[in-house]
């Protein structure tokens, strides 16, 4: 078997993921409690080397105008350095374990304030003949970033199929909770199933995107196959993976990170260099980029308001106090 040396950026994990380190402590404590004081860790999955890009079926996608000037992070970083806590809190856990998730067939339940509700096949939600490529900046709340070339469709296009009614002021998303396939959910690290939400006008903004692919290929499981949200002006945790339930609501919906710690993770979670996380600065970020990805020396750059997408989204928040509504 091919033994793959971890790329340089994994070495600095603790330096760049203060949240994960903190959560791992909680996870261990929770494990202690659940097992009556005996630390019971799940059996680690077989360590798999990262599959090559060519292992994933290609998708046809039209290029669109939504592209930042900076080049994309390497495939190995995009698919090997992930947050997907259902498979563990380590950055390499998803790449090692998410292959366990069954992603086909896949259905999505549509509920709440809409004309059309029910259970729909993935293919009924997504027109695989009308895919777009969107090269977006991705900014994690942990203060690292990557540029990622997603493939998918605008979120609004999908939501409109279900004709949300006038009471639909928000939309909530849930990740499939496949208990047997998701070893990380043995612990109450977060409220499972992972849930997220947007105000309806945010969801209908042309930048909000549903991805089914990355790098012109079918989405690897660690990136949220078969269907994940991408909200590039918000911290990465809003971009919920492996969605199997969408609920149109009248009231602001619960979100897993906000339920876990409302002071640290607000409902809006817009990327904002002027509002620090209570435990670290958000003024700058480490860039996992094409040149830096494998050397460990990550470039640092200033974080941009709304992650650089202010022109497209700032008007959504006119008159709002973004410190209060963080």
Interface with ligand MTE by CB under 6 A: which residues? 82-86, 138, 140, 175, 194, 223-224, 236-237, 239-241
Residue 113 vs 288, nearer CB to ligand MTE:
288
Q: Select from ligand MTE, Mo ion, none the partner in contact with residue 239, using the beta carbon and a kind-dependent cut-off of 5 to 8 Å.
A: ligand MTE
Q: Select from Mo ion, ligand MTE, none the partner in contact with residue 174, using the beta carbon and a kind-dependent cut-off of 5 to 8 Å.
A: none
DSSP E strands, the chain: 62-63, 107-112, 118-121, 132-139, 144-154, 170-175, 195-199, 209-214, 217-218, 228-230, 243-249, 284-287, 299-302
CB of residue 133 vs Mo ion: minimum separation in angstroms? 22
Whole-angstrom CA distances from 226 to 118, 147, 178, 200, 211 are: 19, 20, 14, 23, 8
Residue 172 vs 239, nearer CB to ligand MTE:
239
Peptide bond into 166 cis (omega under 30): no
Residue 187 vs 237, nearer CB to Mo ion:
237
CB of residue 189 vs Mo ion: minimum separation in angstroms? 14
Residue 295 contacts residue 74 (beta carbons within 8 Å): no
Q: Select from Mo ion, ligand MTE, none the partner in contact with residue 88, using the beta carbon and a kind-dependent cut-off of 5 to 8 Å.
A: none
Residue 86 vs 202, nearer CB to ligand MTE:
86
CB of residue 106 vs ligand MTE: minimum separation in angstroms? 14
Residue 308 contacts residue 137 (beta carbons within 8 Å): yes
CB of residue 122 vs ligand MTE: minimum separation in angstroms? 16
CB of residue 114 vs Mo ion: minimum separation in angstroms? 29
Report the Cα 82 to chain-centroid distance in Å.
Answer: 9
CB of residue 186 vs ligand MTE: minimum separation in angstroms? 15
Q: Select from ligand MTE, Mo ion, none the partner in contact with residue 309, using the beta carbon and a kind-dependent cut-off of 5 to 8 Å.
A: none
Residue 115 contacts residue 269 (beta carbons within 8 Å): no
Q: Select from ligand MTE, Mo ion, none the partner in contact with residue 288, using the beta carbon and a kind-dependent cut-off of 5 to 8 Å.
A: none
Contacts with Mo ion, residue ranges (CB under 5 A): 83, 140, 236-237
- Other CB atoms within a 10 A radius of the CB of residue 34 amount to 14
- CA pair distance 240, 132, nearest whole angstrom: 19
For residue 301, the cross-strand partners are 285
Of 265, 100, 293, 302, nearest in space to 185 by CA: 100
* Pair of tokens at residue 314: 């700032």
Residue 112 vs 184, nearer CB to ligand MTE:
184
Burial class for 216, CB neighbours closer than 10 Å (0-12, 13-18, 19+)? middle
CB of residue 319 vs ligand MTE: minimum separation in angstroms? 29
Q: Select from ligand MTE, Mo ion, none the partner in contact with residue 144, using the beta carbon and a kind-dependent cut-off of 5 to 8 Å.
A: none
Residue 18 vs 169, nearer CB to ligand MTE:
18
CB of residue 209 vs ligand MTE: minimum separation in angstroms? 13
- CA pair distance 10, 3, nearest whole angstrom: 16
Q: Select from Mo ion, ligand MTE, none the partner in contact with residue 249, using the beta carbon and a kind-dependent cut-off of 5 to 8 Å.
A: none
Residue 85 vs 170, nearer CB to ligand MTE:
85
Report the Cα 185 to chain-centroid distance in Å.
Answer: 17
Residue 203 contacts residue 128 (beta carbons within 8 Å): no
Q: Select from ligand MTE, Mo ion, none the partner in contact with residue 84, using the beta carbon and a kind-dependent cut-off of 5 to 8 Å.
A: ligand MTE
Residue 81 vs 106, nearer CB to Mo ion:
81
* Helix residue spans in 212-301 (DSSP H): 256-260
């Amino acid at each position: 078997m091919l033994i793959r040396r971890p790329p340089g950026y994994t070495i600095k994990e603790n330096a760049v993921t203060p949240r994960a380190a903190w959560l791992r402590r909680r996870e261990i404590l929770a494990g202690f409690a659940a097992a009556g004081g005996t630390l019971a860790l799940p059996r680690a999955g077989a360590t798999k080397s990262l599959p090559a890009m060519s292992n994933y079926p290609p998708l046809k996608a039209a290029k669109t105008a939504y592209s930042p000037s900076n080049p994309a992070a390497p495939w190995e970083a995009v698919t090997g350095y992930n947050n997907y806590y259902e498979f563990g809190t380590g950055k390499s856990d998803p790449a090692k374990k998410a292959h366990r998730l069954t992603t086909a067939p896949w259905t999505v339940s549509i509920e709440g304030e809409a004309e059309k509700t029910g259970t729909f096949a993935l293919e009924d939600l997504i027109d695989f003949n009308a895919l777009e490529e969107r090269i977006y900046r991705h900014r994690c709340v942990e203060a690292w970033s990557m540029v990622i070339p997603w493939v998918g469709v605008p979120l609004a296009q999908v939501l409109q199929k279900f004709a949300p009614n006038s009471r639909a002021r928000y939309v909530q998303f849930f990740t499939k909770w496949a208990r047997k396939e998701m070893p990380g959910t043995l612990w109450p690290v977060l409220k499972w199933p992972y849930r997220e939400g947007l105000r309806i006008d945010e969801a209908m903004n042309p930048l909000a995107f549903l991805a089914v692919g990355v790098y012109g290929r079918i989405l690897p499981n660690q990136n949220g196959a078969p269907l994940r949200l991408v909200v590039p002006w918000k911290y990465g945790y809003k971009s919920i993976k492996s969605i199997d339930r969408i609920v149109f609501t009248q009231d602001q919906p619960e979100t897993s990170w906000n339920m876990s710690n409302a002071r640290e993770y607000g409902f809006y979670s817009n990327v904002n260099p002027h509002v620090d996380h209570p435990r670290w600065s958000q003024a700058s970020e480490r860039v996992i980029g094409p040149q830096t990805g494998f050397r460990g020396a990550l470039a640092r750059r200033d974080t941009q308001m709304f992650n650089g997408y202010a022109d497209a989204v700032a008007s959504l928040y006119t008159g709002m106090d973004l410190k209060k509504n963080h």
